[in-house]
Amino acid sequence: MQPFNEKQLLEAISKGDEKAFKVLFLYYYPRVKGFIGGLLQSSEEVEDISQDIFLMLWNHRSSFVAINNFKSYLFRICKNAVYRHIERTLLFKNYLQKQTENMASIPECNETDDNIQLQELELLIAITVEKMPPQRKKIYKMSRESGMSNDEIAHTLGLNKRTIENHLSQALTDLRKVLSIAFILFF
């Protein structure tokens, strides 16, 4: 049984009531994480996708008044987010496999190989960043591409600075793993 009147709560949220959204978040967040956790193995990916879903809900709160069954709406969003995540992961793995096969068939012939390898390494980094869970990717890009400090990112996204640091640390770990494999292939 819900501890709130769903229709009234959604109406308040659609008008920008942050306290009402907090009530909704506290009620549904554990359920969303549990649902997504049943579909994915990585607790980090589960956390990222769950946070992104609630960020998206807040950003689209004005449409809440038209929702008749919020629970069904929310879990449809969760299911679609997981499917998109799995699809992106599979596409990335397929791309990496094809790139590995292509690299194995290229003979080393001259000094332009170094330039080609550098370009492929840059592409591999870009693909690795794109493969990151949405929240981690967003934080990494804000840090590395936009040059924002951890405090600025935390303030912009409304997250704890420690959360930002954890995401950046994991992003760099992801990149190190991919780069170590790439160096083995290149050299």
DSSP string, 44-96: HHHHHHHHHHHHHHHHTGGGGGG-S-HHHHHHHHHHHHHHHHHHHHHHHHHHH
pLDDT of 14 reads: 93
Whole-number Å distance between alpha carbons of 175 and 163: 18
Whether 53 shows a pLDDT value over 90: the answer reads yes
List the structure tokens of 65.
């008044």
Per the listing, tokens 């793993």 go with: 177
Q: Residue 107 — pLDDT band, cuts 50, 70, 90?
A: low
Q: Residue 11 — pLDDT band, cuts 50, 70, 90?
A: very high
Q: What is the pTM for the complete model shown?
A: 0.52
Whether 56 shows a pLDDT value over 60: the answer reads yes
Domains located in the chain, CATH noted = 1-87 (1.10.1740.10), 106-187 (1.10.10.10)
Q: Is residue 153 exposed (0-12), middle (13-18) or buried (19+ Cβ within 10 Å)?
A: buried
Per the listing, tokens 């330039």 go with: 115
Sequence-ordered list of residues with C-beta below 8 angstroms from that of 94, at least 6 positions apart, any chain: none
Sequence-ordered list of residues with C-beta below 8 angstroms from that of 43, at least 6 positions apart, any chain: 37
Q: Residue 1 — pLDDT band, cuts 50, 70, 90?
A: low
On average, the pLDDT of the chain sits at: 84
Whether 146 shows a pLDDT value over 80: the answer reads yes
Whole-number Å distance between alpha carbons of 77 and 161: 28
Q: Residue 105 — pLDDT band, cuts 50, 70, 90?
A: low
